[in-house]
């Protein structure tokens, strides 16, 4: 072919290519990353890359609502190509903790009773048996539980809280071996002269029975009681907010023998039904047979039992909206928390300090849509555990 003819053919081919580009037919357009855009110019194809370019990632990656996305020649409209993830609000986390168990109880008291309280319950923070039954009494009288050390006088932080609350009535739970007589004398000597009543029996079962009598004396009628093991603390702590909210006294038992003090109290109170807390490893089937109209809530361990109680509490008018957690391997923080969660109609979940118990995790996931607050009682629950819980609520 002559050179002149070859030049004519080459010009013709180039013209066809230019024409194709002009009418928008792009062949083998450069490969682009999503969001990169094409800055080389498009002739008559400005802005619309998807018709000719292939993309490194497609469909476009998800972005968070409100997140900026630059597209070069794609413009600023993200929704036709990107999946936009809505912003999920974070559930607020509130810590109520002090430098000690006594100060933590004060923090809880300040939240529960910001302007004072008509009554206060004092119980030892050194051991659990006497205070296990205290939450229904505190709630019946509209006040908090404050913990005291086995000293001849009150810790300064507890004394300051009593002066702030100025209760007309103070209940002391347990004998002088639990709450020393020096503390009782100090409370009686407060400037406004509160009425001080010590409730103490010959043992933990008798003390719980006397506290139950005091609950009935305030409320007038008791139709249901809670029975839990008196030899360990988790089950009674888990049920305390529900019992306090409902005005159900908490009575204690051994695993295989129902103490006479507990049996007599049920008769005296006129209760016709029982919420039995804990599995047969804590309270035997034989004991259950001696209780009126029993409903048992007991799981494989303390955390599973707490989960079952939480579900039952939700069926009784309590709510996961005000959700709390504290450690299940120690007692002081949960003792003080009972009246607060009773008043807020909330649910308190026990958990190990360094992990989230499966029974807790499942209920957080199932109820996350209604949780408004996560309240952490005490400093024993680790930050990593709280972060995990917070993530479960998103």
pLDDT tens for residues 30-72? 665 555 555 555 555 545 555 555 555 556 666 665 565 655 5
pLDDT of residue 5: 52
The whole-number average pLDDT for the span 182-187 is: 98
pLDDT of residue 22: 41
Band of the pLDDT at 130, cuts 50, 70, 90? confident
Question: Which of 7-16, 193-202, 219-228, 345-354 is least confident?
Answer: 7-16
Write the CA distances from 39 to 49, 239, 309, 375, integer angstroms.
11, 66, 63, 53
- Mind listing the pLDDT tens digit for each residue in 245-260? 999 999 999 999 999 9
Residue 123 confidence (pLDDT) above 60: yes
Tell me the average pLDDT of the chain. Answer: 87
Band of the pLDDT at 90, cuts 50, 70, 90? confident
Question: Which of 29-43, 195-209, 342-356 is least confident?
Answer: 29-43
Q: How far apart are CA 176 and CA 110, in angstroms?
A: 27
pLDDT of residue 25: 41
Q: How far apart are CA 306 and CA 348, in angstroms?
A: 8
- Mind listing the pLDDT tens digit for each residue in 17-28? 444 444 444 445
Residue 6 confidence (pLDDT) above 70: no
pLDDT of residue 208: 98
Residue 237 confidence (pLDDT) above 90: yes
More confident residue, 342 or 90: 342
- Of 353, 381, 385, 346, the closest CA to residue 367 belongs to 346
Write out the H or E segment, with its range, that includes residue 350: strand 347-351
Band of the pLDDT at 309, cuts 50, 70, 90? very high
More confident residue, 56 or 81: 81
pLDDT of residue 322: 97
- Tell me the H-state helices in the chain: 3-22, 101-112, 134-140, 156-165, 181-188, 204-219, 234-246, 260-269, 285-288, 302-315, 332-343, 358-367, 383-392
Tell me the longest C-alpha to C-alpha distance in the chain: 124
pLDDT of residue 89: 63
Q: How far apart are CA 275 and CA 293, in angstroms?
A: 9
pLDDT of residue 297: 98
The whole-number average pLDDT for the span 166-171 is: 98
pLDDT of residue 80: 57
- Of 152, 143, 133, 140, the closest CA to residue 105 belongs to 143
Residue 78 confidence (pLDDT) above 70: no
Q: What percent of the chain has pLDDT over 90?
A: 76
Contacting residues for 14 by C-beta, under 8 A, at least 6 apart: none
The whole-number average pLDDT for the span 336-341 is: 97
In the chain, the N- to C-terminal Cα span, in Å, equals 75
pLDDT of residue 66: 56
pLDDT of residue 19: 42
């Amino acid at each position: 072919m002559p050179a002149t003819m070859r030049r004519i053919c080459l010009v013709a081919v180039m013209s066809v290519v230019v024409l194709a580009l002009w009418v928008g037919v792009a062949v083998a357009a450069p490969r682009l990353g999503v969001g990169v855009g094409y800055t080389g110019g498009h002739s008559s194809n400005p802005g619309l890359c998807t018709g000719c370019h292939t993309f490194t990632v497609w469909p476009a990656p998800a972005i968070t609502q409100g997140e900026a996305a630059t597209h070069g020649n794609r413009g600023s409209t993200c929704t036709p190509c990107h999946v936009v993830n809505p912003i999920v609000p974070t559930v607020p986390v509130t810590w109520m903790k002090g430098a000690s168990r006594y100060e933590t109880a004060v923090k809880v008291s300040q939240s529960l009773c910001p302007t004072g309280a008509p009554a206060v319950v004092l119980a030892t923070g050194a051991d659990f048996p006497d205070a296990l039954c205290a939450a229904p009494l505190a709630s019946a009288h509209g006040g908090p539980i404050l913990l005291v050390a086995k000293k001849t006088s009150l810790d300064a932080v507890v004394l300051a809280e009593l002066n702030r609350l100025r209760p007309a009535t103070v209940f002391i739970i347990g004998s002088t071996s639990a709450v020393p007589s020096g503390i009782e004398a100090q409370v009686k000597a407060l400037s406004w002269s509160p009425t001080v009543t010590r409730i103490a029996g010959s043992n933990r079962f008798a003390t719980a029975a006397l506290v139950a009598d005091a609950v009935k004396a305030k409320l007038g009628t008791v139709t249901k009681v809670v029975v839990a093991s008196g030899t360990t603390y988790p089950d009674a702590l888990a049920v305390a907010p529900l019992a306090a909210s409902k005005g159900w006294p908490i009575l204690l038992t051994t695993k295989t023998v129902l103490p006479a003090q507990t049996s007599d109290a049920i008769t005296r109170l006129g209760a016709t039904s029982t919420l039995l807390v804990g599995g047969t490893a804590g309270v035997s089937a034989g004991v259950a047979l001696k209780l009126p109209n029993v409903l048992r809530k007991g799981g494989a361990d303390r955390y599973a039992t707490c989960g079952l109680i939480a579900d039952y509490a939700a069926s009784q008018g309590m709510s996961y909206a005000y959700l709390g957690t504290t450690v299940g391997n120690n007692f002081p923080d949960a003792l003080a928390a009972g009246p607060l969660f009773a008043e807020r109609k909330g649910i308190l979940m026990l958990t190990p300090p360094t992990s989230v118990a499966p029974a807790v995790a499942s209920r957080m996931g199932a109820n996350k849509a209604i949780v408004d607050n996560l309240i952490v009682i005490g400093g024993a629950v680790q930050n990593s555990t709280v972060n995990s819980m917070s993530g479960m609520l998103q």
